[in-house]
A and B are shown apart, each in its own frame.
Chain A
């Protein structure tokens, strides 16, 4: 069983950021485990998602629907699509079990769409599982402004 170094974790996060900026969502989905959860909490770091609403709380099937919908060509809030560039930093790694790692990071996400520039910032928590290679079982993205008005966040953070 491999050890996940910070360097390994950074490589994985950089690859993910590049795929998302290029909107290569099928390739991004391939980085996830089949039971992955993609979670954007509302109101800070998030409580029990079964008792509090989230901005997004997708299981793998819902995430597949989300990606498919964006690809229909008539998902108007992404037509034209948001163009993004994201910086990943402050990467920390913990490995509580041999096949299980927790990676924390900070991100800065720039977006432009319809002439409007936006900047989002936040922290991510990843649960990774080793299955031939390290895969993402949970991506939890905590936006700093997740209790404020956000008009249109229809791409993948």
Chain B
């Protein structure tokens, strides 16, 4: 089948073919060319805050372990005994200086070094333990506490890779007067019987909320619910932006944010005036009035970092490809360092109201991915249309492609990058139109 596929034809400038969501061969190529040759999001520093802390994860579909060693260094180790392949760590997370493979007892430290094999005489005098260290991710780099890894030593520096997304990551982190968040309050886990790309498309889709989430807006009360729904209509002044390298954002920055307004994240969880005042004072003290306004104005975030991370609301959302038609999703909500506890409680309650397997919003997104996967089976309707806003998107002076919030510019940005990695830059450039000079 793979030889019959012409990948170049399956992703075009304004539409993608249904087979990219269904074919196991394409999924395997994605793991190789996208997840294993580029940067992927691994987690946040604070998830392994103490020496010995670890958590298990996958890079593409390969099992791995994020560890912090006794010197405070962070490692990404492949979860595979170098003897006969058994995974060496079975827990979601924990604290341990050593990992023992219980098949034949080989033991590694949390730097990945093989420190012992039972009955070692059997291996003779020339056995070189150093050659049997756990495989490590070739590169591990961090940005503002976010840990990324790559299995490809030749990958560009992380800071270059993140491109214009860095500006929005900074805003997310700077909501803390200490300039740091923590992701230590648990992980919501859910998933769907569909392709991983559906979730990456949806996390920065400003066209869907008024339909998929109508029920949530309806019960938020007439004033608030309607105000939020207006953000996602044709009359909205908000924008979607292509940030480069497949990253994108729904930019809902308020033009005139009010510094004294209670912290409202995703509609619920207003805080008391006292806590709000303490919080605002600390922001002003750290950042000054202009930056504080900018930070607060941008506190409603939907940011996609190619290929596997969405920063939405207060959460890091990791998209985990399982196979062509199964995807898991992990949400790691964050708390802000250096704020009154009430602010973080409000963030947690607001998050729970909309997200997770029982939230008022996320399960309805997942329902759509399941419905789409059913619909994809129809032959004869071969294409998924992603042309919305193609005629009116524009490129700003700093090279950022900007469109209306309901436009499919973020999805096109994703697939442009997808095509570059899957088929080569030349192929990707062949299909990318320069935007016309229209207005929106």
Residue A30 at the chain B interface, CB threshold 8 Å: no
Residue in chain A with minimal CB distance to B214: A74
Q: How far is the CA of A16 from the CA of B358 in the complex (A)?
A: 20
B190 at the interface (CB under 8 A from A): yes
Contact (Cβ within 8 A) A55 B348: no
User: Which residues does chain B contribute within 8 Å of A62, judged by CB atoms?
Assistant: 268, 349, 353
A43 neighbours in B (Cβ, 8 Å): 186
B216: contacting residue among A49, A69, A147, CB under 8 A: A69
Say yes or no: A77 contacts B366, CB within 8 Å. Answer: yes
B364 touching A68 by the CB < 8 A rule?
no
Q: How many inter-chain contacts with C-beta < 8 Å in the A-B complex?
A: 95
User: Hey, which chain A residues are within 8 Å of B189, CB to CB?
Assistant: 147-150
Interface residues of A in 52-71 (CB under 8 A from B): 52-57, 62, 65-66, 68-70
Confirm or deny: A90 has a beta carbon within 8 angstroms of a beta carbon on chain B: no
Q: How far is the CB of B102 from chain A (nearest CB, A)?
A: 21
How far in angstroms is the closest Cβ of chain A from B416?
A: 30
Task: Write out the residue numbers on chain B whose beta carbons fall within 8 Å of the beta carbon of A150.
Answer: 189-190, 357
Bound-state CA distance A54–B357 (Å) is: 10
Contact B190 A149 (CB under 8 A): yes
User: Separation in Å of the A44 CB from the closest CB of chain B?
Assistant: 11
Bound: A57/B58 CA distance, A: 29
Instruction: Return the contact of B360 from the options A42, A49, A66, A147 (Cβ within 8 A).
Output: A66
Shortest A135–chain B CB gap in Å is: 23
**Contact yes or no, A55 B357, CB < 8 A:** yes
- A53-B351, A68-B219, A151-B192 are known contacts. Are A77 and B367 too (CB-CB below 8 A)? yes
- For B, the interface residue count at a CB cutoff of 8 angstroms equals 36
- Cross-chain contact B349 with A57 (CB below 8 angstroms): yes
Which residues from chain A contact B367 at a C-beta distance below 8 Å?
Answer: 76-77, 79, 152
Question: How many residues on A have C-beta within 8 angstroms of the other chain's C-beta atoms?
Answer: 34
Docked CA distance A4–B86 (Å): 53
Does B212 interact with chain A (Cβ within 8 Å)? yes
User: Is B113 an interface residue, CB under 8 A from the partner?
Assistant: no
Residue of A nearest to B346 (CB): A50
Cα distance, A120 to B345, chains bound together (Å): 29
A69→B360 contact, CB < 8 A: yes
CA distance A75 to B218 in the complex (A): 11
Complex contact B349–A76 (CB within 8 A): no
Q: Which of A108-157 contact B (CB under 8 A)?
A: 114, 147-154
Mark out the residues of chain B between 125 and 162 whose CB falls within 8 Å of any chain A CB in the assembled complex.
none
Given known A-B contacts A53-B356, A55-B356, A152 and B363 have beta carbons under 8 A apart: yes
CB of B13 within 8 Å of the partner chain: no
Write the nearest CB–CB distance from A39 to chain B, whole angstroms: 11
- Closest Cβ–Cβ distance, residue A81 to chain B (whole Å): 12
Q: Check B341–A50 contact: CB distance below 8 A.
A: yes
* Known contacts A42-B188, A72-B215, A114-B370; A50/B345 CB under 8 A: yes
Across the interface, which residues of B come within 8 angstroms of A73, CB to CB?
A: 215
Q: How far is the CA of A82 from the CA of B125 in the complex (A)?
A: 63
Contact between chains at B357 and A53 (CB < 8 Å): no
Contact between chains at B219 and A53 (CB < 8 Å): no
Q: Which residue of A lies closest to B92 (CB)?
A: A147
Q: How far is the CA of A69 from the CA of B268 in the complex (A)?
A: 15
B298 within 8 A of A: no
Distance in angstroms between the alpha carbons of A73 and B218 in the assembled complex: 11
Verify A40–B219 contact, CB threshold 8 A: no
**Cβ–Cβ contact A149 & B191, under 8 A:** yes
- Most chain A Cβ neighbours within 10 Å, of B190, B212, B341: B190
Query: Nearest chain-B residue to A145 (Cβ)?
Result: B189
CB-defined contacts of A53 to chain B, threshold 8 Å: 185-186, 188, 333, 348, 351-352, 356
- 6 CB-based A-B contacts, threshold 8 Å: A53-B333, A53-B356, A62-B268, A149-B189, A149-B190, A152-B363
> A residues bordering B, Cβ < 8 Å?
40, 42-43, 49-57, 62, 65-66, 68-70, 72-77, 79, 114, 147-154
Contact surface of B with A, Cβ cutoff 8 Å = 92, 185-192, 212, 214-216, 218-220, 268, 328, 333, 341, 345, 348-349, 351-353, 356-358, 360, 363-364, 366-368, 370
